[in-house]
Amino acid sequence: MSTNVFHLVYISEAVEDISYTDIHDILNVSRKNNAMENITGILIFREGYFFQVLEGPEAAVRKVLGKIIIDDRNYNLRVLLETSDHSRLFENWSMAFYDGDISSNNTEDLVNLFELCVDPAKRTPRPLIMSMVKKFRSTARELR
């Protein structure tokens, strides 16, 4: 019997003085804690915004989200999508990372994703968000 996987997608603003040391710390702690909680996902950073997909047991994902909400390295967190599916998108990654500020990573797909999600007035359709997120699944193998 297969269990549904809960997917939660959010965007938040990074504090102005966020450093790559801070992001490295976030990733190290996330990878350790997520592995213990059976959570996988991806964190994308671009132009002062965090975009993240968390997937796993719903209670565990919501617990992690609660910690992220009170983390003072980000603010204005908005949940964009909550859904369930039969499979994970980032099953091999306790937390993959994609640096959208590196010019070679600044793809049209990434630009489109952030343009759709950054503006709180825009109501991005759920299928469109998931479609765009799935495009990053194939590149996650290369992420460190």
**All residues at 6 or more sequence positions from 75 whose CB lies less than 8 Å from its CB, including other chains:** 12, 13, 15
pTM of the model: 0.87
What number is the average pLDDT over the span 98-113? 79
- The residue that leads in pLDDT, 106 or 34, is 34
Q: Give the pLDDT confidence of 14-58 residue by residue, as tens digits.
A: 999 999 999 999 999 999 999 999 999 999 999 999 999 999 999
Regarding predicted confidence, which is higher, 142 or 79? 79
How many other CB atoms sit within 10 Å of the CB of residue 135?
13
Whole-number average pLDDT of the chain = 86
CA of residue 138 relative to chain centroid, distance: 15
Q: Is 142 helix (H, G, I), strand (E, B) or coil?
A: helix
As a whole number, mean pLDDT of residues 73-102 equals 89
The CATH number corresponding to 5-142 among 2.60.40.10, 3.40.50.920, 3.30.70.100, 3.90.580.10 equals: 3.30.70.100
Domain ranges across the chain: 5-142
